[in-house]
């Protein structure tokens, strides 16, 4: 599984998102989730193809958010689903056994559901307070995260408010890795930010 996943949101950075991701990969990120929901099909497919090129060069995993068709077209390594998305079984029929399927979860019930439908991993959070989930989902916290990970039957990637200051807490809870958005996209130096996160994870 991945140690450091970058989840894209081009609105969080003034630079071209492809440049930011390339720098993050140079800094040690080993997975990218392409999550640009407002792009046209053509724009998304073009960006996915670019992401496939740079992730392949870096030996990193490419996951496409929601769009199984885009994942197949780009030759991506997997598809990431929201907990209310198209069923994982249906997506599996589209992408085949080779592709990873991840599901976002916020609690034990959703985590069990992800396991039951055959998800390969769960993105669990928010672990810490994050403005992007303000008023929507309560932060799990590292202690509850530890309990959820201990009971899980699939690998868990922690997300939500992860920074260099608290990434180690998430890792100590037993997760396989962490996923970040602002910690890298909003950084002045995405390469250095990725390197700092990798160091904080003890890698």
Which position among 10, 67, 104, 182 bears the catalytic label? 104
Q: From CA 121, how far away is CA 115, in angstroms rounded?
A: 8
Which position among 12, 112, 113, 133 bears the catalytic label? 133
Which position among 35, 112, 144, 146 bears the catalytic label? 35
What are the Cα distances from residue 59, in Å, to 10, 23, 30, 32, 65? 22, 14, 7, 11, 19
Please tell me whether the peptide bond between 126 and the residue prior to it is cis, using omega within 30 degrees of 0. yes
Is 104 among the catalytic positions?
Answer: yes
Is 11 among the catalytic positions?
Answer: no
Q: Which residues are catalytic, by number?
A: 35, 104, 133
């Amino acid at each position: 599984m991945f140690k450091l996943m970058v989840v894209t949101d081009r609105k969080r950075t003034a630079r071209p998102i492809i440049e930011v991701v390339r720098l993050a990969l140079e800094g040690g990120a080993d997975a990218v989730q392409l999550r640009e929901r407002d792009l046209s099909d053509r724009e998304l497919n073009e960006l996915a193809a670019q992401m496939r090129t740079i992730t392949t060069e870096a030996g990193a995993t490419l996951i496409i958010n929601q769009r199984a068709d885009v994942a197949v077209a780009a030759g991506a390594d997997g598809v990431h689903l929201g907990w209310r998305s198209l069923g994982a079984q249906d997506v599996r029929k589209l992408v085949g056994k080779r592709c990873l399927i991840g599901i976002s979860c916020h609690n034990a019930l959703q985590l069990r559901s992800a396991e039951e439908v055959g998800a390969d991993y769960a993105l669990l959070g928010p672990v810490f307070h994050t403005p992007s989930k303000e008023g929507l989902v309560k932060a799990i916290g590292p202690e509850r995260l530890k309990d959820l990970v201990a009971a899980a039957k699939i690998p868990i990637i922690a997300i939500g408010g992860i920074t260099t200051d608290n990434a180690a807490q998430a890792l100590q809870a037993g997760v396989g890795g962490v996923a970040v958005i602002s910690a890298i996209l909003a950084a002045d130096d995405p390469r250095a930010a990725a390197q700092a996160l990798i160091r904080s994870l003890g890698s």
